[in-house]
């Protein structure tokens, strides 16, 4: 494995990271802007004696993933937006079955077919559980090609450690963007799956993996156990970025690719004397409510920036609901030309004036 | 001479075994089983030839063993 | 000295629970699958795929590892299992609604890829579990809860002939349609099911069996009348027989 920095595209980085992480089985169907992942793996996986199947649909791909994951191997699929929508039934089953596996979701703009522009319109799809029943997808959102690699590793690890589906939520910009990154070794310990995985009932009683449960109390306990896992994941596997939040009067919240641009705008604001910070959740679900509420108690307002009509915004508002009565402003758009640093800075300046300067006067600057 | 091992509490009274038996060894019981059905019972065991036709057609595996 | 001539297969659990209605052919079908798995000596390396419908509780009786698939997705799940663990024996057990209606795409494409798995399909011309609605194989004129005046092709189309379609799919190695309406038919069905597993074990491609089966509850017939229907109008439309046999050719 090359430990030197290489210039690489996000999609290839994810695919190579999956190989390095030990992914044994990949199933996928083409959709822009993530098709390079399947293209790369279609050659690489057979070379390594691993499984690659060009599925007939995303419906088939997610169910192949279910089958592969049920044998305990590391398995992955990748897709985008309207096609991830097709996978929701399978994801619900996978969550109910507690099968470890990884879904890479490289968002495009929607609804419907939308188009291949960068968008974050699938925050809710990824984090709220698009399928039926009480479950959520454990979701990590990278903001750079390097994070595409590191979080692909994290997704494999968390999925195997907690027996849960994990989603890497990227977008068209990250998938298609080239920047220098290092593909290091998979940094996590291997998790033994032999206590539950299906490998034939030899010298042991048979095992059944099924989401169906006739006994209502057993069903209740199973769902509660799944939610207990989310608590543990939040406790043990949370990742986030705080930038200049100490002493900040206004905190910008953003995730994924747009958070990078927001960070540059925050730097500019600091340079101009505005007490502004940035909070970027990387683990989007389970959502780090406690950290957001702690920040809320020390600042005068939030400005949430997303490439959608305000999806994470609802989680931010819910997080601070009991902690503070501060304004949460929103700036976003579902598609269109990517926001610039100057555009975001302008918004920061406006909101800062409205919230902070109104409260303290211009002396605060 | 054959012998069948019948678990009467697994029988759901479809009586397919009665039709399959070439020697008409089986008949309907007059008391219900644990499932609430009138199961089959062995009437003329000495007539049984151990052909296992009854077991092969039994969809509930109520006829668990057949000896010949 | 008494000789044991028949016993419950080892591939059926000792504390099994047959969850089907009285006289339903499902019971005979699972028993045959279990007998074949015993005879091939592969129980300890078999992974079964349970589908949605009457066969959903497969793990109540099959004495082997089982993973449940969503409705229609069994052959996609089987693909994932087999590609990840090529040394395992993988089979699906599905109804006609599952395999040939909601899951037809997964079925045809898994078989087009020639997945080395075995697929068993119970064709009883209705959706049994949900109470007897018309399905892909419902016969013209058949009364169901959604064809109350009999299936009218102008309104609900024609019955789908599964074996006739799947024999044309290049990846299938064995395709047969069998019945379970008599001891002789049951013995023949077992022979065919064994071939469908051998197709997998020999790496020839997908083995497929369509079983014309009864649904006495929803047909509102006795088990005996139901078997007469299988022999009669069902077999006229869905002709039993071996449609493709690369297993015998390979020997």
Does the domain at A6-237 match CATH 3.40.50.970? Answer given as: yes
User: CA-CA distance, A22 to A37, in Å (whole number)?
Assistant: 15
Of B19, B51, B56, the CB nearest to C186: B56
Collapsing DSSP states into helix, strand and coil, what is residue A298? Answer: coil
Q: How many domains does chain B have?
A: 1
Write down the pLDDT at residue B45: 83
What pLDDT, in 10s, does the model give residues C119-137? 999 999 999 999 999 999 9
Residues A262-308 pLDDT 10s: 999 999 999 999 999 999 999 999 999 999 999 999 999 999 999 99
Q: Which residues contact A305 (CB under 8 A, 6 or more apart)?
A: A252, A253, A254, A258, A259, A262, A330, A331, A332, A339, A344, A347
Do strands C4-7 and B63-67 pair parallel, antiparallel, or not at all (unpaired)?
antiparallel
Dihedrals phi, psi of A90, to nearest 5 degrees: -60, -40
Q: Which residues contact A231 (CB under 8 A, 6 or more apart)?
A: A286
Per the structure block, which two tokens stand in for C134? 């018309």
Asked if residue C8 is part of any domain, the answer here is no
Chain A residue numbers with beta carbons less than 8 Å from the beta carbon of C94 are none
pLDDT reported for residue A145: 98
Instruction: Please spell the DSSP secondary structure of A99-134, one letter per residue.
Output: --EEEEEEE-B-STT-BSS---TTHHHHHTTSSSSS
Beta bridge partners of C212: C123, C179
The encoded tokens of residue C232 equal 């009669």
Can you list the residues of chain B whose pLDDT is less than 50? Answer: none
**What is the reported pLDDT for A2?**
54
Chain C partners within 8 Å of A222 (Cβ): none
Q: Between C8, C23, C182, which is nearest B59 by CB? A: C23
Closest chain C C-alpha to A346 CA, distance in angstroms: 50
Report whether A169 contacts A310 (CB < 8 A): no
pLDDT at residue number C103: 98
Q: Which residues pair with C95 in a beta bridge?
A: C122
Q: Do A70 and C45 touch (CB under 8 A)?
A: no
Are residues A25 and C80, on separate chains, in Cβ contact within 8 Å?
yes
Rg of chain B, C-alpha, whole Å: 11
Token couple for B17? 């075994």
The answer to whether B and C touch (≥3 CB pairs < 8 Å) is yes
Owner of token pair 């969550």: A95
Beta carbons of C79 and A53 less than 8 Å apart: yes
Q: What is the CATH number of the domain that holds C217?
A: 3.40.50.970
What per-residue confidence (pLDDT) applies to A364? 45
Q: Does B36 touch chain C (CB under 8 A)?
A: no
> How many domains does chain C fold into?
1
- The token pair at A210 is 């099924």
What is the CATH classification number for the domain harbouring B16? 3.30.70.20
DSSP secondary structure of B1-57: --EEEE-GGG--S--HHHHH-TT--EEE-SS--TTSS--EEES-GGG-----HHHHH
Report the b/e string of A64-100 with b at 16+ CB within 10 A: bbbbbbbbbbbbbbbbbbbbbbbbbbbbbbbbbbbbb
Chain B residues with CB inside 8 Å of C24's CB? 59
Rounded Cα distance between C231 and C85, Å, is 40
pLDDT at A365: 45
- CB distance A63–C84 less than 8 Å? no
Asked if C22 and B10 come within 8 Å (Cβ–Cβ), the reply is no
CB contact under 8 A, C84 and A51: yes
Secondary structure string (H, E, C) spanning A145-185 = HHHHHHHHHHHHHHHHHHCCEEEEEEEHHHHHCEEEECCCC
- Terminal-residue alpha carbon distance, chain B: 6
User: Residue C244 forms beta bridges with which residues?
Assistant: C175
Local confidence pLDDT in tens for the 365 residues of chain A: 557 899 999 999 999 999 999 999 999 999 999 999 999 999 999 999 999 999 999 999 999 999 999 999 999 999 999 999 999 999 999 999 999 999 999 999 999 999 888 899 999 999 998 899 999 999 999 999 999 999 999 999 999 999 999 999 999 999 999 999 999 999 999 999 999 999 999 999 999 999 999 999 999 999 999 999 999 999 999 999 999 999 999 999 999 999 999 999 999 999 999 999 999 999 999 999 999 999 999 999 999 999 999 999 999 999 998 877 899 999 999 887 899 999 999 999 999 999 988 888 765 44
Mutation for testing the B interface, residue in C12, C36, C38, C183 having most B CBs under 10 Å: C183
Query: Which pLDDT value is given to residue A165?
Result: 98
Is C163 within a domain? yes
C-beta atoms of C84 and A200 within 8 A? no
Of residues A70, A89, A206, nearest to C81 (C-beta): A70
Report pLDDT for A356.
Answer: 87
With contact defined as beta carbons under 8 Å apart, do A71 and C47 qualify?
yes
Decide if domain A243-364 falls under CATH 3.40.50.920: yes
Q: Which residues in chain B are closer than 8 Å to C187, comparing Cβ atoms?
A: 56
Domain assignment of residue C206, given as a range: 25-250
Give the model confidence (pLDDT) of A155-206 as tens digits.
999 999 999 999 999 999 999 999 999 999 999 999 999 999 999 999 999 9
Is A201–C64 a contact, with Cβ atoms under 8 angstroms apart? yes
Residues C157 and A256: their CA atoms lie apart, in Å, by 50
CB pair distance less than 8 Å for B68 and C5: yes
Torsion angle (degrees, nearest 10) of CA A229, A233, A235, A237: 160
**CB-based contact C27 B13, cutoff 8 Å:** no
Complete DSSP assignment for A60-74: HHHHHHHHHHHTT--
Question: Whole domain around residue B45: which residue ranges?
Answer: 3-67
Average pLDDT over residues C31-57: 96
What is the model's pLDDT at position A322? 80
- For residue C81, what are its two tokens? 């299992």
How many other CB atoms are there within 10 angstroms of residue C93's CB atom?
27
Q: Which of B17, B28, B53, B56 best probes binding to C when mutated, by most C CB atoms within 10 angstroms?
A: B56
CB contact under 8 A, C80 and A198: no
Nearest to A209 among C67, C70, C105 (CB): C67
Half-sphere exposure of A363 (CA within 13 A, CB side): 3
Between CA A251 and CA A64 the distance in angstroms is 43
Q: What is the pTM assigned to this prediction?
A: 0.96
- Of all residues in chain C, the one with the smallest CA distance to B52 is C6
Measured CB to CB, residues of chain A less than 8 Å from chain C are 24-25, 27, 51, 53, 55-57, 59-61, 63-71, 73, 75, 89-90, 93, 97, 198-203, 206-212
What is the rounded distance in angstroms from the CA atom of residue A65 to the CA atom of residue A29?
12
C65/A201 touch (CB, cutoff 8 Å), yes or no? yes
Query: Of A164, A232, A158, A152, which is closest to residue A196 (Cα–Cα)?
Result: A164
Average pLDDT over chain C, rounded to whole? Answer: 97
């Amino acid at each position: 494995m090359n430990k030197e920095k290489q210039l690489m595209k996000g999609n290839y980085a994810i695919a190579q990271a999956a190989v390095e992480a030990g992914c044994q089985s990949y199933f996928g169907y083409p959709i822009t802007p993530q098709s390079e992942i399947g293209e790369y793996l279609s050659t690489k996986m057979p070379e390594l004696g691993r499984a690659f199947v060009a599925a007939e649909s995303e419906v088939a791909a997610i169910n192949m993933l279910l089958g592969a994951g049920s044998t305990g191997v590391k398995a992955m699929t990748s897709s985008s937006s309207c096609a991830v929508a097709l996978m929701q039934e399978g994801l619900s089953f996978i969550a109910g079955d507690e099968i470890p596996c990884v879904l890479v979701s490289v968002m495009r703009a929607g609804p419907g077919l939308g188009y291949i522009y960068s968008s974050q319109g699938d925050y809710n799809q990824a984090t709220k559980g698009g399928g039926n029943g009480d479950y959520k997808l454990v979701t990590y959102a990278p903001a750079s090609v390097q994070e595409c690699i590191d979080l692909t590793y994290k997704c494999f690890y968390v999925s195997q450690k907690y027996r849960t589906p994990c989603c890497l939520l990227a977008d068209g910009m990250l998938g298609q963007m080239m920047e220098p990154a290092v593909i290091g070794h998979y940094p996590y310990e291997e998790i033994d799956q032999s206590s539950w995985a299906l490998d034939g009932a030899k010298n042991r009683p048979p095992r059944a993996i099924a989401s169906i449960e006739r006994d209502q109390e057993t069903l209740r306990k199973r769902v509660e156990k799944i939610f207990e896992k989310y608590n543990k994941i939040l406790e043990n596997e949370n990742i986030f970025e705080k930038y200049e939040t100490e002493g900040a009067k206004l905190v910008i919240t953003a995730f994924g690719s747009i958070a990078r641009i927001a960070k540059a705008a925050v730097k500019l604001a600091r340079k101009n004397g505005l007490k502004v910070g940035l909070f970027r959740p990387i683990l989007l679900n389970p959502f780090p409510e406690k950290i957001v509420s702690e920040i809320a108690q020390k600042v005068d307002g939030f400005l949430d920036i997303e490439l959608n009509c305000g999806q994470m915004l609802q989680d931010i508002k819910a997080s601070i609901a009991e902690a503070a009565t501060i304004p949460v402003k929103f700036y976003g758009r579902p598609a269109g030309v990517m926001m610039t640093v100057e555009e975001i800075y302008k918004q920061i300046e406006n909101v800062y004036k409205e919230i902070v300067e109104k409260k303290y006067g211009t002396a605060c600057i | 001479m054959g012998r069948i091992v019948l678990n009467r509490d697994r029988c759901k009274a479809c009586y397919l075994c009665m039709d399959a038996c070439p020697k008409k060894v089986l008949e309907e019981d007059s008391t219900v089983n644990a499932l609430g059905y009138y199961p089959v019972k062995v009437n003329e065991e000495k007539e049984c030839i151990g052909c296992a036709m009854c077991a092969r057609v039994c969809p509930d595996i109520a006829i668990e063993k057949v000896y010949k | 000295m008494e000789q044991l001539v028949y016993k419950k297969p080892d591939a059926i659990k000792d504390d099994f629970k047959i969850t089907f209605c009285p006289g339903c052919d499902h019971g005979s079908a699972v028993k045959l699958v279990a007998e074949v798995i015993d005879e091939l000596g592969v129980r300890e390396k078999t992974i079964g795929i349970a589908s949605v419908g009457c066969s959903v509780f497969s793990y109540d009786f099959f004495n082997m590892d089982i993973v449940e698939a969503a409705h229609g997705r069994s052959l996609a799940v089987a693909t994932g299992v087999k590609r990840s663990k090529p040394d395992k024996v993988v089979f699906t057990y599905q109804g006609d609604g599952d395999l040939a209606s909601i899951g037809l795409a997964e079925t045809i494409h898994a078989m087009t890829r020639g997945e080395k798995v075995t697929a068993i399909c119970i064709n009883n011309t209705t959706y049994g579990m949900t109470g007897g609605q018309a399905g892909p194989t419902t016969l013209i004129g058949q009364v169901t809860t959604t064809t109350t005046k009999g299936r009218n092709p102008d309104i609900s189309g024609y019955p789908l002939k599964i074996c006739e379609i799947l024999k044309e799919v290049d990846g299938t190695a064995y395709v047969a349609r069998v019945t379970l309406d008599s001891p002789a038919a049951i013995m023949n069905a077992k022979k065919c099911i064994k071939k469908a597993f051998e197709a997998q074990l020999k790496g020839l491609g997908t083995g497929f069996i369509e079983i014309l089966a009864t649904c006495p509850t929803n047909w509102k017939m006795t088990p005996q009348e139901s078997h007469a229907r299988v022999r009669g109008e069902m077999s006229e439309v869905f002709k039993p027989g071996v449609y493709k046999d690369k297993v015998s050719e390979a020997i």
